[in-house]
A and B are shown apart, each in its own frame.
Chain A
Amino acid sequence: MRVPLSWLRDFVDVDLAPEALAERLTLLGMEVKGIERWGAAWRSVVVGELLTVERHPRADRLSLTTVTVGSGEPLHIVCGATNIAPGQRVPVALPGAILPGDRRIERTEKMGIASEGMLCSGDELELTTDADGILILPADTPLGADLSELYGDVVLDVDVKPNRGDALSLIGLAREVAAATGAPLRVPTVELAEVDPGVADRLRVVVEEPALCTRFVGRIVSGVTGGPSPDRVQMRLRAAGMRPVSNVVDATNYVMLETGKPTHAFDASAIHDATIVVRRARAGERLETLDHVVRELDAETLVIADPRGPLAIAGVMGGAASEVTDATTEVVIESAIFDPVSIRRTGQRYALRSEASQRFEKGQDVPTARIGADRVAGLVAAWAGGRVLRGRVDTDPVEPGPSRVAFRPARVDRLLGTSLSADEQALLLARVGIETEPAPAAAVIPVAAGDDPLAVSVDGGDARVALVPTWRRDIEIEADIIEEIARVRGYETVPARRPETQMPAYRPSPLAVRDAVREVLVGAGLVEVVTHALVAPASLDQLAWPDDGDLPSVEVRSGGPVVTVRNPLAAQHSVLRQHVVPSLLDVLATNERHGRSRVAIFEVGKGYAKDTDGPREWWRLAFVLGGAADPAAWSRVERPYDLDDAKAILELVAERLSLRAPSFVPDQRGAPFHPGRAAAVTATIGDTGGPAAPGFVTRPGAIAVVGHVAELHPDVLAAWDLRAVRVLAAEVAIVGLGGGTLAAPMARPLSRVPSVERDLAVVVREDVPAGVVASTASRAAGELLRDLRLFDVYRGAPLATDEKSLAIRLVLQAPDRTLTDDEVDAVVRSVTDGLSVDLGARLRT
């Protein structure tokens, strides 16, 4: 709501500087978002008086004028307007002046005659809409005065919250100013000079939908002459952000801004049979609205109609056929109260949200239906001439009094943490027009309103009753009264305390696993990113990362029908993603464009799908590696990331979560993976603790990490237009990622007996995975095996071309004794036999 201070002063004195007033209003809950100096765009525009006006010798349409601005020589100014005459006072832009839109006025020559400045129209000053004529100022305007001093204004931009429809008006805000400053409020009463015949003889109103139109007040002004409204009015409307239209329309807008009551003016001659019907539209009915769009109406739409058909969409927009024009001689003023929900829905259905409909949506102060009609009638008569016909049509002239809301002064203190007496509370409420009185013996306190209201009965001695004015429709329950007391007193007076109430029971953070995983990835050199959950539909198909499918569930299952946004902002953010890796590839591409070649990033993010019983969301860890694992430095050469780096990160994660070393099984599906460099990964819970999450089995040996790690197929890199030659990616589910805990690892006693190391060189066929050799050897080694590590791979002579030699180190140890050579030899034999039998391996000697 834009509030010109000059207009506000009609209703309340304001002695404060604009900044100070803005702060007071803000602290009262009427937040001032901005302070605008209206007319601040005018520089060197002063009041002048026309001395002479003559025709330009070489151009019929131009006049030569001499103008005095009070001091100095008269100025010679060439002017194109025709509404000027000697003796008039007009705005003069002196050479060097600046007008709105940063228009600079200089000494010029027009058709061979010098012009020392410019006479301004209202439009050039953005004061009125008149672009043709020069703005003629009142004769008593002081000569030479700076126009910005005279007509400049300060406009406050007040953020009126949706519950305070009453403050979408100058009078409403004046009430707040009065409450904030203590200055008296002046609400003008309307006195009309009425003439016969009475409105009741000239207008019939039938409300067929009393639930949707609870009151309809009609008035008529006869004998009007269309034209512009007074300059001062146009200036106020503009300052308040509305476009001046005509005297009659401006009167309705002026009253809406002043009182918060939207009204509508009809050309009486367009109302057939002088009968207005408020009803639902009928199927098939159409109406051309003021914006000259023909709209199909439906039965949900409330219309103002005459016996022939709809004239206006009630509360939202008038119709073109009944619009007031310069030819209009008689005006019917509608000042009605409509159902807020009906207006809101209609506005949304037709995508028409007007200043009027926004006020109707928030509910209307019932008496303003009468006040608004009277005020508009008075202004129309004053600005457009004409006579106000006697009386009104009013479908519900009985106006409600204040509503009664009982409250407990002790509750006020309990909720606010203050200690205010009931009298202090009453004084504070009085500042916003809420009187109080003693409660009846059995007082009923409204605790909650709405569909399921709650009221409690208390002893009247513990309660007071607040008499809430009709315009404060937001105050319904005890808590509303409490807020009002706090607001008027100033939230700044609420004490600051540290809570002394009971502590809740301990509850572990559900973020433990997620945070542990993040810490590992950061430590491993990866940068955490946060990407959009909303992605382009095409990106879902661009990378066929495998869904969980038959994989064991350790988090919420992935995959399923895609969730689509019904009202997306843009196509590229219209569906919810199902995998995180594609988003990471986008980040990789973006950073490559910035000249980065090394990109190691991760995100712990969600995927989304819909099932028949509702939405499903799951958490995944995803990371992407591209470029150099070890960037070149003065002391070393560059080494690019490869699959082993990606696997090592998963091994670190498993270690941090106290899992057993992950196992990698070749995944040869091909795209989106490199067919020879992809693996399904699983890791199981170890014997000493690990993650736990509700709904998942987490005993030792249970699977706790499952997913895929791969070098991406070159086609994928091409699809993302990546420069990197190789990109590694992983996406895994981890128990507890979506909310879980980590058990503390249990320590094993250190063995006091020495361990024995034996190295074996095992020759196997090329297609036997090292992981299989390791697991076979582990099994065969038995319980004396402490550790088994692959430390070299050899290919070449004297091996056959389809053979490779894997160097394995066995670490053997008994818990209680030093192993004898015989025992060690037995284990080694068992391992070599096992490898030989199961894998056809032989020892290289």
Chain B
Amino acid sequence: MDLETMTAQLERLRADALVAVEGAADAAALEQVHVSFLGRKGAITEILRGIAGLDAADRPRIGAVANDVRGAVEAAAVVRDEALRAAELESRLAAETVDVTTPGRRVARGSRHPIAETVAAIDEVFGRFGFVVHEGPEIEDDVTNFQMLNIPADHPARDLWATLYVDIDDHLLRTHTSPGQIRVMRETRPPIRALLPGRCFRYEAVDASHAFEFFQVEGLMVDEGTSLADLRGLLDEFAHALFGAARATRFRPGYYPFTEPSVAFDVECVVCDGGGCPACGRTGWMTILGAGMVHPVVLRYGGIDPERYQGFAFGMGVERIAMLRHGVHDLRLFMENDLRFLEQFR
């Protein structure tokens, strides 16, 4: 075989190979083409076997042609390979199309009870003003629940707290979180800023706004100059935090044996914004808590000198706050634990 013939064979092979590369339908076919032209037993190798019959001077020349053909086919194969890969990816992605409008796969998530959540919200506000949480027992003694709070036995004010008594001498189910005031004063020294959340009990028939078990948060602040003006300022902050900065508040006289002066604290009705509606008895106001300056007798039972120190206390019903915050109209819902209700507080 001579140089020309061999060169012509290689050139024909180049043309055939390029057509075959271009015609490869997928990666496997391309590999087949690759092997059949460029492999160890491929067509180029086959042709080059005849190299031995050439002149020594022609051998490098035919080698250069063969390399050129090989390089061209390799390059074409790479291009074809990339094109095939791109097409394959595209078709795979196309095949993977999902209906994006179906709902997501839910991960179960629970919820906090609105009472706990409301206690946390109250704690959050007063915590920022330096109030720290304390807790007292639910089975309380009569002395701490009443007498040390300036409510002697046989005092008509006892009618304000219908009491459940237990079969432990001189003990009852605490009717309010106020006995915690005494415990905090006895455990710590002024300056005091304490928050006392907890479960309370009363002998009370159940209806939309009454329960025999309910939750309260009590607050206590005692220092040398703590005044009624401080109480008012702090309660305003609280009302604005929970019910909006624009909500008007009202400070008026109340009555508790353990505070003097005593305060009832109202916010503009959250239903009618003060216009008057059945929810607020058409007054435009809703009472959210009771408060007052700690009575000197209570300070003394707490071991604090009323001549040197003064302070305020406040107490609120957690359910009441939660009802106003969340637009709940029946207090019974909180202890019925219907999941359809509770799951709204996720």
Contact = CB atoms under 8 A, between A and B. Distances in A.
A522 B107 CA distance: 12
Contact of B300 (A27, A454, A630): A454
Contacts of B109: 522-523, 525
A601 B205 CA distance: 27
Nearest to A474: B255
Interface stretch (B6-14, B31-39, B85-93, B231-239): B231-239
A479 B293 CA distance: 9
Nearest to B112: A528
Contacts of B108: 524-525, 600, 629-630
Given A518-B112, A634-B102, A450 B150 contact: yes
A497 interface: yes
Nearest to B119: A511
Interface in A397-417: 414-417
Given A416-B227, A417-B228, A483-B262, A600 B199 contact: no
B297 interface: yes
Interface stretch (B52-60, B63-71, B74-82, B165-173): B165-173
A527 B233 contact: no
B138 A608 contact: yes
A615 B137 contact: yes
Contact of B129 (A362, A483, A499): A499
A635 interface: yes
A345 interface: yes
A191 to B, nearest CB: 34
Given A414-B310, A511-B133, A617-B138, A502 B199 contact: no
Interface in B140-188: 141, 150, 152, 154-157, 159-160, 164-168, 171, 173, 188
A205 B277 CA distance: 56
Given A414-B310, A569-B205, A528 B139 contact: no
B191 interface: yes
Interface stretch (A258-266, A320-328, A558-566): A558-566
B115 A416 contact: no
Contacts, number: 285
Contact of A496 (B164, B229, B293, B335): B229
A533 B112 contact: no
Interface string A525-536: 111111111100
B207 interface: no
A503 B193 contact: yes
Given A163-B157, A502-B223, A504-B193, A523 B110 contact: yes
Interface residues of A, number: 108
Contact of B306 (A165, A454, A495, A563): A454
B116 interface: yes
B316 interface: no
Contact of B255 (A162, A565, A610): A162
Given A479-B293, A525-B110, A497 B232 contact: yes
B157 A162 contact: yes
B243 interface: no
Interface string B4-36: 000000000000000000000000000000000
Residue of B111, B213, B254, B260 contacting most chain A CB atoms (<10 Å):
B260
A162 B226 contact: no
Which label, helix, strand, loop or mixed, suits the secondary structure of the B interface?
A: mixed
B233 A496 contact: yes
Nearest to B140: A615
A448 B105 contact: no
Given A418-B229, A527-B342, A31 B192 contact: no
B293 A501 contact: no
Contacts of A633: 103, 105-106
Interface string B120-132: 1001000101101
A502 B190 CA distance: 9
Contacts of A479: 260-261, 293, 295-296
A468 to B, nearest CB: 15
Interface in A23-62: 23, 26-29, 31, 33-34
Instruction: Name the interface size band of chain B.
Output: 35 or more
Interface in B198-217: 199, 201, 203-205, 212-213
A184 B191 CA distance: 46
Contact of B234 (A498, A564, A635): A498
A294 interface: no
B330 interface: no
A482 B295 CA distance: 12
Given A29-B254, A497-B230, A606-B138, A599 B166 contact: no
Contacts of A507: 132
Interface string A690-721: 00000000000000000000000000000000
A22 B221 CA distance: 32
Given A31-B264, A501-B230, A362 B165 contact: no
Contacts of B201: 533-534
Interface in A141-171: 161-165
Given A491-B263, A509-B133, A530 B139 contact: no
B46 interface: no
B94 interface: no
Contact of A416 (B106, B191, B229, B281): B229
Contacts of B236: 496
A448 B296 contact: yes
A234 B109 CA distance: 65
Contacts of B165: 565-567
A510 interface: yes
A522 B112 contact: yes
Contacts of A161: 254-255
Interface stretch (A98-106, A587-595, A835-843): A587-595
Interface string A617-660: 10000000000011101111000000000000000000000000
Contacts of B261: 415-416, 479, 482-483, 486-487, 491
A615 B168 contact: yes
A579 B156 CA distance: 37
A631 B339 CA distance: 16
A506 B130 CA distance: 8
Given A162-B160, A569-B212, A615-B139, A501 B110 contact: no
A568 B164 contact: yes
Of B154, B234, B262, B340, the most chain A CB neighbours within 10 A belong to B154
Contacts of B116: 518, 528, 530
Contacts of B127: 509
Contacts of A614: 141, 168, 171
Contact of A565 (B102, B173, B254, B263): B173
Interface in B286-327: 293, 295-297, 300, 306-307, 310
Given A448-B300, A594-B340, A504 B203 contact: no
A708 to B, nearest CB: 22
Interface in A447-505: 447-452, 454, 456, 477, 479-480, 482-483, 486-487, 491-492, 494-504
B317 to A, nearest CB: 14
A531 B139 contact: no
Contacts of A534: 164, 201, 212-213
Interface of A: 22-23, 26-29, 31, 33-34, 161-165, 340-341, 344-345, 358, 361-362, 414-418, 447-452, 454, 456, 477, 479-480, 482-483, 486-487, 491-492, 494-504, 506-511, 515, 518, 521-534, 563-569, 573, 576, 587, 590-591, 594, 596, 599-602, 606, 608, 610, 614-615, 617, 629-631, 633-636, 739
14 contacts: A491-B252, A497-B229, A498-B233, A498-B237, A499-B221, A527-B342, A527-B343, A529-B113, A530-B334, A530-B337, A563-B168, A564-B166, A568-B164, A629-B108
Q: Which 9 A-B pairs rank lowest in CB-CB distance, beginning with the nearest?
A: A417-B229, A525-B108, A29-B253, A417-B227, A483-B261, A161-B255, A615-B139, A501-B223, A522-B110
Given A162-B159, A417-B232, A528-B111, 9 more contacts: A415-B228, A482-B260, A494-B228, A497-B230, A534-B201, A568-B164, A594-B338, A600-B110, A608-B138
